[in-house]
Amino acid sequence: MAEIIQQEKGKGGKKRAKRILPHMDMTPMVDLMMLLITFFMLTTSMAKAKVMDITLPDKITDPNQKAPVIAAYRTLNIILGPENKLYWYPGGVKPEDYNNLPPLNETDFSPTGVRQLLLERNRALFKKINDFNQQFISGKLEISQDSLAGAIRTLKNVDDTGPIVLIKAYKAANYGNFVDILDEMNICGIARYTFVDIAWYEEKMVEFASGGASASATSSN
């Protein structure tokens, strides 16, 4: 035992040297971490893409089946035209008017364009939905988010004053226009809207309204 103690004493100097914490150079590790963080920050897309749901009407395959009849005074036809332009006309076109087509009104996607047009026609319903939302936000109405969505859906279902919007697309339109107009329907709280095929006379109306620039290319229809 004595020997051992002596040995310890003898190595005392060495032991003290060992007691000093080993100093590790962390700079390369930090560099690597920085590099990885930068890489991940640049490659990750934090915002997940959103989706907008849409429902198309049934395709009428049975020739005896008639298309549903809607009130002409509530109908608003919106046609997506070339060069991000929008054309609209109210009501419908009767077969006897084919030689005397109604003029198209031109508008655009700006807040003062189509939004103004839709809000003017949908004011009653929009006001109701807005009031409802305001009550919910201010806490006067204590319901869950789901029942709020349900209540707004009911408001839309019972609405009988707002416009029935028929969205049509001319061939020179693009996908961005299509999404924009559907988005506009959601913004303005339009209760009834659907996407339908463009009729031949409407194509003609667009060609006439856009100055016949594309008329020659599309005359085959």
CB distance 122 to 115 below 8 Å: no
Q: What's the CA gap between 215 and 150, in Å, rounded?
A: 46
Contact set for other proteins, span 130-169 (CB under 8 A): 130, 169
First to last CA, the chain: 111
Listed ranges 14-22, 87-95, 123-131, 207-215: which one lies at the site for other proteins (CB under 8 A): 123-131
52 binding other proteins? (CB under 8 A): yes
Closest listed residue to residue 89, CA positions, set 195, 188, 205, 194 = 205
Candidates 5-13, 112-120, 158-166, 208-216: pick the segment binding other proteins (CB under 8 A): 112-120
Among all chains, which residue has been given the structure tokens 């029942």?
147
Contact set for other proteins, span 91-110 (CB under 8 A): none
SS3 (DSSP) at 195: strand
Which residue type sits at 124? A
Return the residue of 50, 66, 94, 140 that touches other proteins, per CB under 8 A.
Answer: 50
Does 111 contact other proteins by CB under 8 A? yes
Residues that bind other proteins (CB under 8 A): 26, 29-30, 33-34, 36-37, 40-41, 43-59, 80, 111, 115-116, 119-120, 123, 126-127, 130, 169-180, 182-183, 186-187, 195
